[in-house]
Structure formats: C-alpha cells, structure tokens
Amino acid sequence: MKPIPIPGAELFWDQHFLQLWEATRLFTTLLVTCAWERRKGLFGHVVPRDEAYYGDSGTHYTYSRREYKPLPWLPELLSLKARVEEVTPAAVYGNLPRTGYNAVLCNLYRNGNDSVGLHADAEPEMGPVIASVSLGAERVFRLKANDGGVVLSETLPAGSLLIMAGESQRHFRHEVPKEPLVTESRINLTFRYVKHSEARN
Ligand SMILES: O=C(O)CCC(=O)C(=O)O
C-alpha cells in the first residue's frame, strides 16, 4: 500500500487492491445479498444512500442518532476482511487488536444523487483505523481539514482500498459529494474496529 503524504493524517492506498473482475463479481453479489436499508436521519430527512451493517456481536454504535446494530457476517465480507487485514500496513495494524477489524459498514450509492456529507468517523466507540473498499461506479472522495481546506480529492476506482488511520479522523472530515451526471451505482465497504459494548463502561 502506498502512503499518501498529508501532514496530520495517516493515509494509505492501493488503487488495484482487487482485480477488476473480482470487484465486479463482489459488487454484483453484494448488490443482491446485503440487507440494504434507506433510513431516516436527523429531523426525519431520508439518508441519501442505502446502508447495511455487519459485524461481530457487541459492535453496535450510534451515529447521527441512528443506531447501527450488526447483522451476522456474510461470507464474502468475512473473506474480504481477511484480505484487507493482510495488506493493512504493520504500523497501522498495531492500532487494531490481534483479531483485526470487527465490523463493516456497507454503503450503496444508487447513482450520483446519492452521497455522504462531510463527517468524521470519530464516535467514542470507533477505533482510529478505517479501511475503505470501493466497488462499482467511480466517485469522488474528498478529505477536508477542519478549517475547510480540501487536502485530498481523488476518484476512487472499483477495487481500490483506502486506509485512514492515526489522527486522520480527528484532524479531517471526509465526504462523497453528489455527482448528478453519474448514473451507475457504487458500493463502499468501510471495515472498522468498534469497541465491544461489553468492554465499554
Ligand atoms: O463511500 C465512501 O467512500 C465513504 C463512506 C464513509 O464515509 C463512511 O462510511 O463513513
């Protein structure tokens, strides 16, 4: 994995983590097997993407007043998790427990009108390492410093893996903006380590 040198962040990426045929096969499978749900967000507005959350038991968390309760792992997600763990740089892996990632949030952007707004994955129960696999349509991913300046704007191709670690979530926020000209769907999988609820006080 190649480091992306941005002071204050710890980012790594591999544009060709999966071969295109693998990414296409996984996209097609997950499109029909994930339990996609379009949920209501704050103030009753509809979240502009479908979501499905899988993980070990006890990995539930709350974001934007929505509760994420893990569904039992799908075999495809478990084997992808093992591959992501294998390539996670050793220095980053040191910030994960020996057992690696324990949950994955799946997002389905049905077309360019779907998006995720500027946010950081910095809930108290969330570990600092987020590994993001992209499938399907290419979409722009932007990282912005807390003062608003764009420090990274990349098109994430199918089969790419982006890892955000260290202080990335504390110093930066990220987004996938709307791109009304995009007609194809994209799936993004963010592997995380969520502190087990049993372990929380
Ligand atoms: O779709 C992406 O690339 C980013 C997803 C994301 O920001 C998230 O799941 O928190």
Instruction: Please state the domain extents for the chain.
Output: 2-195
Query: Which pLDDT score, from 0 to 100, does residue 198 have?
Result: 59
The domain at 2-195 falls in which architecture? Sandwich (2.60)
Choose which residue among 188, 191, 193 to substitute to test ligand 1 binding: the one with the highest number of ligand atoms within 8 A of its C-beta: 188
Which ligand 1 atom is nearest residue 156's CA?
Answer: 3
Identify the residue whose C-alpha is closest to ligand 1 atom 9: 190
pTM for the structure as a whole = 0.95
Residue 200 has a pLDDT of 44
The answer, yes or no, to whether residue 85 has pLDDT greater than 50, is: yes
How far away, in angstroms, is 97 Cα from ligand 1 center? 22
CB neighbour class for 43 (10 Å; exposed up to 12, middle 13-18, buried from 19)? exposed
Residues with CB under 6 A from ligand 1: 105, 107, 116, 121, 132, 141, 156, 174, 176, 188, 190
Span from the CA of 116 to the centroid of ligand 1 (angstroms): 7
Largest CA distance in the chain: 47
Pairwise CA distance, residues 135 & 188, whole Å: 6
| Paired tokens of 138 | 């290419």
CB atoms within 10 A of CB 147: 5
Stronger pLDDT, 164 or 41, i.e. the higher one: 164
| Percent of the chain's residues with pLDDT above 90 | 82
CB atoms within 10 A of CB 170: 12
How far CA 88 is from CA of 46, 83, 130, 140, 174, in Å, comes to 34, 9, 10, 23, 20
Supply 20's token pair. Answer: 């295109």
C-beta separation of 107 from 48 below 8 A? no
The average pLDDT across 48-61 equals 96
